[in-house]
Amino acid sequence: MKLSAWFEMNPTSLNLCLLYFFDQSSRSNRSMSQRTLESIFRERFRETMMVLFMCMSAQLLSQRPFPEVPEMSTSSQNWRNTIEPIPSPPSYLKPESWALNPVLSPNQKPALPKRRRRSLPGIQFDTIADVFFIHPTMLLDGSAWNADVSDENMNASVDLWPIRHQASAFSSAGRVFAPRYRQAHVRIFSLGDSLSWAAAEVAYADIRRAFEVYLEQWNDGRPIVLAGHSQGSFHGRRLIQEFFDGTALAHRLVAAYLPGMDMYASEFDHVPLCLEPSQVGCLCTWMTYGRGYLPHWLLHKRQSPNFTAALVTHPVTWSQTVASSDYRDHLGVLRPSFRLSKPGAIRGDISPDGVLWIDSPKVFGGKWLQREDWHSGDINLFWVNIRKNVSARAREWQMKNEIRPSND
Residue 336's pLDDT is 87
pLDDT top residue among 62 and 395: 395
Whole-number Cα distances in Å, 387 to 12, 16, 29, 313: 26, 24, 25, 15
CB atoms within 10 A of CB 143: 10
What confidence category does residue 97 fall into, taking pLDDT thresholds of 50, 70 and 90? very high
Reduced to 3 DSSP states, what percent helix, strand and coil does the chain have, rounded to the nearest 5? 40, 10, 45
Domain boundaries, the chain: 1-67, 87-401
Residue 149's pLDDT is 97
pLDDT top residue among 214 and 14: 214
Residue 28's pLDDT is 44
**pLDDT tens figures, 121-171:** 655 555 779 999 999 999 999 999 999 999 999 999 999 999 999 999 999
The span from the CA of 9 to the CA of 360, in Å, is 17
Write down the H helix ranges in 229-382.
231-239, 296-302
pLDDT top residue among 123 and 16: 123
Residue 319's pLDDT is 87
Residue 128's pLDDT is 79
pLDDT mean over 364-382: 82
What confidence category does residue 104 fall into, taking pLDDT thresholds of 50, 70 and 90? very high
Q: Is 311 exposed, middle or buried (0-12, 13-18, 19+ CB in 10 A)?
A: buried
Residue 21's pLDDT is 46
* Range with lowest mean pLDDT among 286-300, 347-361, 392-406: 392-406
pLDDT top residue among 182 and 117: 182
Question: Of the ranges 10-14, 96-100, 323-327, which is most confident?
Answer: 96-100
The span from the CA of 299 to the CA of 351, in Å, is 13
Residue 60's pLDDT is 34
* Range with lowest mean pLDDT among 42-51, 136-145, 233-242, 244-253: 42-51
pLDDT mean over 315-322: 89
372 contacts 293 by C-beta, under 8 angstroms: yes
* Range with lowest mean pLDDT among 112-126, 181-195, 262-276, 344-358: 112-126
What confidence category does residue 373 fall into, taking pLDDT thresholds of 50, 70 and 90? very high
* Range with lowest mean pLDDT among 35-49, 133-147, 242-256: 35-49
Write down the H helix ranges in 269-382.
296-302
Strand 356-358 relative to strand 348-350, pairing: antiparallel
The span from the CA of 42 to the CA of 32, in Å, is 13
What confidence category does residue 253 fall into, taking pLDDT thresholds of 50, 70 and 90? very high
DSSP character for 101?
-
Residue 151's pLDDT is 97
Q: Is 300 exposed, middle or buried (0-12, 13-18, 19+ CB in 10 A)?
A: exposed
pLDDT top residue among 112 and 365: 112
Whole-number Cα distances in Å, 278 to 52, 103, 167, 211, 283: 43, 29, 20, 25, 12
315 contacts 386 by C-beta, under 8 angstroms: yes
pLDDT mean over 93-102: 98
pLDDT mean over 214-237: 97
What confidence category does residue 78 fall into, taking pLDDT thresholds of 50, 70 and 90? low
378: nearest Cα among 230, 199, 160:
230
pTM, to two decimals: 0.81
DSSP character for 216?
I
Residue 6's pLDDT is 38
Give the chain's mean pLDDT: 83
Q: Is 249 exposed, middle or buried (0-12, 13-18, 19+ CB in 10 A)?
A: middle
pLDDT mean over 2-24: 43
Residue 183's pLDDT is 98
State the angle between helix axes of 37-62 and 11-32 in degrees (0 to 180), rounded to the nearest 10.
170
What confidence category does residue 71 fall into, taking pLDDT thresholds of 50, 70 and 90? very low
Q: Is 228 exposed, middle or buried (0-12, 13-18, 19+ CB in 10 A)?
A: buried
Q: What is the largest CA-CA distance in the chain?
A: 65
DSSP character for 161?
I
